[in-house]
Amino acid sequence: MRWLRSIAPAGLCWLALSSFAVAQTKATAPDPVPERDPFAALKDIPLTPDGAVKLSLGGQLRVRSEFSRHPVFGLALPEHNNGLLIRSFLSADLRLGPYLRTFVQFVSGQAPIWNGPPPATQLDRLDFLQGYGELSLPIPTGNLMLRGGRQEMSFGSSRLVSVRESPNVRRAFDGIRAAWITSPEARIDAFLVRPVLPLTGLFDDKSDPGQAFWGVYGTSPVPGIPALKADLYYLGLNRQNARFAQGTADEHRQTVGTRLFGKASGFDWNVEAAWQFGHFGRSDIRAWTVSGEFGYTFTDLPFAPRLGFNADAISGDGNLRDNTLGTFNPLFPKLPYFSEANLTAPANLIDIQPNITLTLLPKVKLTVGWNPLWKQAKADAFYGPAITPVPRTAGGAGRYLGHQISTTLEWSPTEHLTLGGTYVAYEPGQRIQQAGGVSGSFAAGWATLIF
């Protein structure tokens, strides 16, 4: 009965959200009458007669069910996990005139059903996800933004710096950030932060004393080429007791990279390359990555299919006994990266992912993808979630790790509500089978209400 009491609130949330979605769908007519946003009253609430000081309230409720069988090819525990996850955000955005702003966002991550103790990224009873002060100053060439406190950060395509969407508790950083903004598409950000360590209690999340992260990230349209935009960045990371297949040591790593992206005539592209250097204990770091995402959308065909092709080449360590570490560190990557199953980290990897996305209805999208995986360097390990080298996977005769097939369906009946689900099935290759790996699967369903 205890588990019934735990699941009851989630069930009520699902029923309420589903009923809301059905009501919204039925209300849609060939010539709909525009309806007032039910949450508009929470935005830009004037606190002074002249409206110079105003408050906006917002939040999110997400209910998510997960079912996993043999995660990470059965090389991670537990072997099976059925989880019910509930995430709640509540935020307040106070603007003190045209230049000053304070923002506070609370997070509550609950895991009423989980096999064993939930990790802190899933169970965080109540804490500050964000809390910062911001100063925005107009300058002749645009706007200058200065921000200090706890904050989320996401740059570019989120390959290296991301909020980590899938778990209950998203990623945040403590520190300072400045930005020079010349247009909605052109800006340069600089920051000096520490990642936040989520903990399971009440208001106990803290900065990670073992990591420091800093960098400069710029993005802009490319002059003279209307459809092309470019990013250029430098990122630095100091991490104590970093662990790779080569061993454990303090890591001092620097990353320089660039990204080219855009859309034109039905085509879309996103190409990124980065080089890493620095020190890992007494070893030099020499690592790299090249990634590409390409697609074409047939807007005149039924369901407007988008055919896509993704590929990654991410360096590994070719010799675990020399004085060079070749394993690429993806820093703070997005999640999901390859699929919601979180099967592997983007380190020591070569992969391709042909995929297709269909717009079944104006607000319903279906995506199917196939993703075979290989080691980039045979001597190095296979890296699981959180860039963890999986035991018994270093060395060996083969590179092929296995493949995964993923299907994701999402429906957004309103701008505030999203319903979705995913299923991923994966089969190990010979190298993973030699380490004891087996086939497995992952399924999840979620409902997200944002206001």
- pLDDT tens sequence across 286-336: 999 999 999 999 999 999 999 999 999 999 999 999 999 999 999 999 999
Of 158, 111, 152, 101, nearest to 128 by C-alpha is 152
All domains in the chain, ordered by first residue: 51-450 (2.40.160.100)
Segments in the chain below pLDDT 70: 1-35
Render 192-216 in DSSP notation, one character per residue: EEEEEE--SSBS--EE-TTEEEEEE
Tens digit of each residue's pLDDT (9 = 90 or more) over 200-244: 999 999 999 999 999 999 999 999 999 999 999 999 999 999 999
Cα separation, 444 vs 435, in Å, equals: 27
The pLDDT value recorded for residue 32 is 52
Count of CB atoms within 10 A of residue 71's CB?
Answer: 22
Q: Position of tokens 């804490």?
A: 127
CB 39 within 8 Å of CB 451: yes
Nearest to 198 by CA among 117, 277, 127: 127
Do the Cβ atoms of 378 and 398 come closer than 8 Å?
A: yes
Which residues lie closer than 8 Å to 159 by C-beta, 6 or more apart? Answer: 272, 289, 291, 330, 333, 334, 337, 346
Residue 5 pLDDT: 38
Distance separating alpha carbons of residues 385 and 382, to the nearest angstrom: 10
Number of H helices, E strands in the chain: 2, 23
The answer to whether the CB of 198 falls within 8 A of the CB of 164 is no
Residue with tokens 């005149």: 300
What Å distances lie between residue 327 and 211, 258, 269, 430, CA to CA? 18, 19, 26, 22
Tokens found for residue 51:
């409206």
Whether 389 and 243 have beta carbons less than 8 Å apart is answered as yes
Produce one character per residue of 246-272: b if its CB has 16 or more CB atoms within 10 Å, e if not.
beebebbbbbebebbbbeeeeebbbbb
